[in-house]
Homo-oligomer: A and B are copies of this chain.
Amino acid sequence: MKSEVSAVTRVVDKNKGIDKGKGVTWAVSVSEKDSFSSTKAAPFSRWKKGIAVTDFVLRLGAIGAAMGSAVTMGTNEEQLPFFTQFLQFHAQWSDFPVFQFFVFANGVISGYAILSLPFSYVCIVQPHAVRPRLLLMTFDTVMMGLISVAAAGAAAIVYVGHNGSQDANWMAFCQGFTNFCQAASEAVVLSFVAAAFFLCLVPLSALALKSN
């Protein structure tokens, strides 16, 4: 803004010397500068649009991972082919409250990620919009926390399922229920992948907010 003011002062200075022609030249040079700054803004806007498109694609990835994780865990069940008179060997995801929370959290996150797509689209159309960006960023952070908690809780149980805990006298059940444990591990990995997508989304939004 200062340069414009000094340009005006120069116009006034020139007028003191009653040199109108040069005064007009100065005014033209200001408008030239203006058009120069608008051409400079174009790649900046394109760069912001690029961030918004990446945001949208990452969101699609997060939806895929969280949904895949919820479905893999939510259909996880194994019946062993042998049983005694009193015992059936049957493992199901809903036997563990941590896995129930895991499926619930991944469902919530899939739903949120789908609902956030229109907002992300608004950011592509209007790359300089601040409010939808701030809203998305805040919710993304909360969802990142939620999915990390769900994935880590399930991972701890899967770990004990695989290795047991001698000190707590907990037996590893994964030697019997291999398919059940395999599917649970896959669901946990998918959930961590979704968390990684959110981990990328948050600083990306910050980068987009930065230059507003």
Indicate with 1 or 0, residue by residue over A175-193, a CB within 8 angstroms of chain B CB atoms: 0000000000000000000
**Which B residues lie within 8 Å of A7 (CB)?**
8
The answer to the question of A199 belonging to the interface, with a C-beta cut-off of 8 Å to chain B, is yes
Q: Tell me if A23 and B15 are in contact (CB < 8 A).
A: yes
| A contact residues, range | 35 or more
In the assembled complex, the Cα of A195 lies from the Cα of B148 at a distance in Å of: 11
Q: Which of the segments A45-53, A68-76, A110-118, A203-211 contacts the partner chain?
A: A203-211
B-contacting residues, A63-103, CB 8 Å: 91-92, 95-98
User: Contacting chain B: which of A54-62, A119-127, A165-173?
Assistant: A165-173
How far is A62 from B194 in the complex, measured between Cα atoms in Å? 26
CB of A41 to closest CB in B, whole Å: 11
In the complex the two chains form, is A142's CB within 8 Å of B15's CB?
A: no
Q: Are the CB atoms of B169 and A171 closer together than 8 Å?
A: yes
Contacts of A206 in B (CB 8 A): 134, 137-138, 205-206, 209
Query: Please, which residue of chain B has its CB at the minimum distance from the CB of A11?
Result: B11
Cα A165 to Cα B97 with chains together (Å): 9
A108 at the interface (CB under 8 A from B): no
Do B195 and A1 touch (CB < 8 A)?
no
Q: Is there an interface contact between B160 and A95, defined as CB atoms closer than 8 Å? A: no
- Contact at A12–B37, with CB atoms within 8 Å? no
Q: With A and B bound together, what is the CA distance between A144 and B198 in angstroms?
A: 12
On A, residues with C-beta under 8 Å from B are 1-2, 4-5, 7-9, 11-12, 15-16, 20, 23-24, 26-27, 30-31, 34, 37, 91-92, 95-98, 130, 134, 137-138, 141-142, 144-145, 148-157, 159-161, 163, 165, 167-171, 173, 195, 199, 202-203, 205-207, 209-212
